[in-house]
Amino acid sequence: MAPATPQPEILAAFEAAKGFMPVGEGLALYAAAAEAGALGLPLLEVGTYCGRSTILLADAAREAGTVAVTVDHHRGSEEQQPGWDYHDPETVDPEVGLMDTLPTFRRTLHKAGLEEYVVAVVGRSPQVAKVWGGKAGLVFIDGGHTDEHATNDYEGWAPHVAEGGLLVIHDVFPDPVDEWTGQAPYRIYLRALASGAFTEVSATDSLRVLRRTGPGI
């Protein structure tokens, strides 16, 4: 069966949103989310930023009759802070002088008409993972790219992927030449495979899709 693809208006909203994910990886994420949605469980994202990838999870959730849950403290990752390559001055809250991507994220979802299919959790990924009680049909890890953050995201969220569900990891760069924020996502990808709990399904540029095929984590 051909992979599910988003409607043109959803793809247009994705392309118009602030964010870093290229279209090819977005299509792979959408296909994974559409497949995982069949489990009827929430589709969970770590790393909302301004909602670019959330649009795809939200639309897949809508189609499947479930919901997308997206987690972010909205203060930005290391490489998005002032002075770094990925900083966008428009994301700074002038009153507090810190990044705040929540308002842009809310506008992104509103414009895409997808607000009612998303639960946005504002908080730190490890704290949210600790209080998250249920399983997820899909966990998409696109949060902080230091070893500390990527490891916390893996350890906090991978156990919540339901049997048959999908673990998707962004910015997996096996070759250090390609790295721009380090290879921490690559290391958690290797760890997931080595755990015996996950089997690789697909690789699209830096996006890896793994299926939960056993216990072990």
- Catalytic choice (145, 149, 160, 170): 145
Q: Could you give the residue ranges of the DSSP H alpha helices within 65-146?
A: 102-112, 125-131
Q: How far apart are CA 45 and CA 149, in angstroms?
A: 14
Does residue number 165 form part of the binding site for ligand SAM (CB under 6 A)? no
Least spacing, CB of residue 50 vs ligand SAM, in Å: 6
Does residue number 75 form part of the binding site for ligand SAM (CB under 6 A)? yes
Tokens read off for 209: 């899709």
Does residue number 206 form part of the binding site for ligand SAM (CB under 6 A)? no
Query: 117 by DSSP, 3-state: which?
Result: helix
Give residue for tokens 């600790």. 130
Does residue number 144 form part of the binding site for ligand SAM (CB under 6 A)? yes
Least spacing, CB of residue 78 vs ligand SAM, in Å: 8
Active site residue 160: no
Does residue number 63 form part of the binding site for ligand SAM (CB under 6 A)? no
Residue 163 near residue 175, CB atoms below 8 Å: no
Partners of 168 in the beta sheet?
140, 209
Contacts to ligand SAM by CB under 6 A: 19-21, 47-49, 52-53, 71-77, 101, 124-125, 142-144, 149
